[in-house]
Amino acid sequence: MKIAWRVDPPRPIRYTRSGKHSSTHNVRLHKTERRWYGRMKARYLSLAPFIRWRTTERPVPWTDVFGRDAPLEVEIGFGNGEFLIRHAQEHPERDFVGIDLEWASVQRGLRRIAQMEATNIRVLQADAQVAFERVFAPQTLHRVYSLFPCPWPKERHTKYRLFSRTFLRLINSRLIETGEAQIVTDSAPYAQWVETQVPGTGFTLGSEPTLLRFRTKYERKWRAQGQESFYNLHLTKHQHLPTPLREDVPVQTHRIDHFDPEHFCPDNVRGAITVEFKDFLYDPKKQRGMVWVFTVEAGLTQDFWIQIIRKRDCWHIRPAPGCAVVPTVSVQHALDLVRDVALEHTENSFGNS
Ligand SMILES: C[S@@+](CC[C@H](N)C(=O)[O-])C[C@H]1O[C@@H](n2cnc3c(N)ncnc32)[C@H](O)[C@@H]1O
């Protein structure tokens, strides 16, 4: 079976508005990549504000990224980026990081940032919890805010609500001593629920109805339905509660002396760590197998390829080069499972590398 190579996600290439690109590396693009980046350029104008947090240094050195040491604010769930960009333009003396889970939001945000030529904004596509655990160093943020976060109104969906006690403690740990957080919501039950989460998080809560206008898509949506006043939860840090950074795990690759692709059939594992095997491709000419894996652990979902490749007299099992993998226990687990299944049909192994 021939290997079907995936088109890799963006490389660190910067597009200027004149359409020329410059790069931190001298990269020669393949014609497929040139087409791909051509489309990117047309749609997003510039990828420069997009931080590929999975493959860059973590925690991200924001002063290097912005090229200055300015107060740093984070907007969680920036949606189409309207408020983020307006707010950043009103405060050129501060730097801003927008986080959103959805690639569609990131696209819209990047387009607006380029159109407004804002230089003090960067965006991350990430789950906010994961970003706060890994991307922001303790006691570095001045302000964190979120406008109209998903309220998950159904009782059985409470577990998906973002501003839980655990997450508020995490935010606390990333804020400077005088830092503050703000959550604005249209939903009374959600506001009440957040209030119950605040005790024990090192924040003092101020809560009042607000007539303030943020002019975001969701604010317009609720106003169009007749809601004039929203719930403004203002959290002031009064005590520092440390939550350490979640560190990368050194991932151990494997070597085995035999590999039989005909009998390679790993089983999925589900639990606190989930590993799902989605596909297996094998190229007999190049003696290279590719296993497509999904892993899930503590809010972090990853999807990547594991390569089983023959080099000299043994087979190497490792994440395929070019995959943006955050080295974690679930990645190690996936590598171990691949090795164990491969070994089921062999006798001798060289052990770990
Ligand atoms: C209801 S929309 C509000 C968007 C915008 N703030 C507004 O007022 O129009 C919620 C946004 O939060 C994002 N979001 C939801 N859960 C998230 C999470 N765990 N981490 C980061 N963003 C999240 C969604 O993708 C969506 O863009």
4 falls within a domain: no
Q: Residue 346's pLDDT is what?
A: 67
Residue that wins the pLDDT comparison between 43 and 230: 230
144 falls within a domain: yes
Domain stop point among 237, 257, 273: 237
Residues within 6 Å of ligand 1 by CB? 76-79, 99-102, 105, 127-128, 147-150, 162, 216-219
Task: State the SS3 of 269-304.
Answer: ECCCEEEEEEEEEEECCCCEEEEEEEEEECCEEEEE
Residues 315 and 194 reside in one and the same domain:
no
Residues 231 and 254 reside in one and the same domain:
no
Structural domain boundaries, residue 275? 13-33+248-352
Q: What would the pLDDT profile of 201-243 be if each residue is shown by its tens digit?
A: 999 999 988 887 899 999 999 999 999 999 999 999 999 999 9
Q: Residue 30's pLDDT is what?
A: 58
149 falls within a domain: yes
Q: Residue 84's pLDDT is what?
A: 98
Residues 121 and 169 reside in one and the same domain:
yes
Residues 76 and 171 reside in one and the same domain:
yes
Q: Which residue among 150, 230, 231 has the greatest number of ligand 1 atoms within 8 angstroms of its CB, and so is best to mutate? A: 150
CATH number of the domain within which 118 lies: 3.40.50.150
Ligand 1 centroid from CA 187, angstroms: 14
Residues 72 and 163 reside in one and the same domain:
yes
Residues 275 and 227 reside in one and the same domain:
no
Of all atoms in ligand 1, which is nearest to the CA of residue 147? 6
Token readout for 157 is 């969906």
Stretch 64-76: mean pLDDT: 98
Residue that wins the pLDDT comparison between 23 and 98: 98
Q: Are 23 and 13 in contact (CB under 8 A)?
A: yes
Lowest mean pLDDT among 16-20, 57-61, 121-125, 275-279: 16-20
Q: Residue 7's pLDDT is what?
A: 36
Q: What total number of domains does the chain contain? A: 2
Residues 255 and 297 reside in one and the same domain:
yes
Q: Residue 19's pLDDT is what?
A: 35
243 falls within a domain: no
Ligand 1 centroid from CA 64, angstroms: 27
Stretch 132-156: mean pLDDT: 97
Residues 98 and 193 reside in one and the same domain:
yes
Query: Rounded to an integer, what distance in angstroms lies between the CA atom of residue 275 and that of residue 278?
Result: 10
Residues 187 and 317 reside in one and the same domain:
no
Domain stop point among 209, 237, 265: 237
Q: Residue 212's pLDDT is what?
A: 76
Residues 22 and 112 reside in one and the same domain:
no
47 falls within a domain: no
40 falls within a domain: no
In this predicted structure, the answer to whether residue 319 has a pLDDT above a threshold of 90 is yes
Ligand 1 centroid from CA 106, angstroms: 11
103-116 helix and 82-90 helix, angle to the nearest 10 degrees? 30
Residues 143 and 206 reside in one and the same domain:
yes
70 falls within a domain: yes
29 falls within a domain: yes
Domain stop point among 237, 259, 289: 237
Nearest to 341 by CA among 286, 284, 268: 268
In this predicted structure, the answer to whether residue 94 has a pLDDT above a threshold of 70 is yes
Nearest to 309 by CA among 340, 279, 347, 283: 283
Residues 213 and 270 reside in one and the same domain:
no
Ligand 1 centroid from CA 144, angstroms: 14
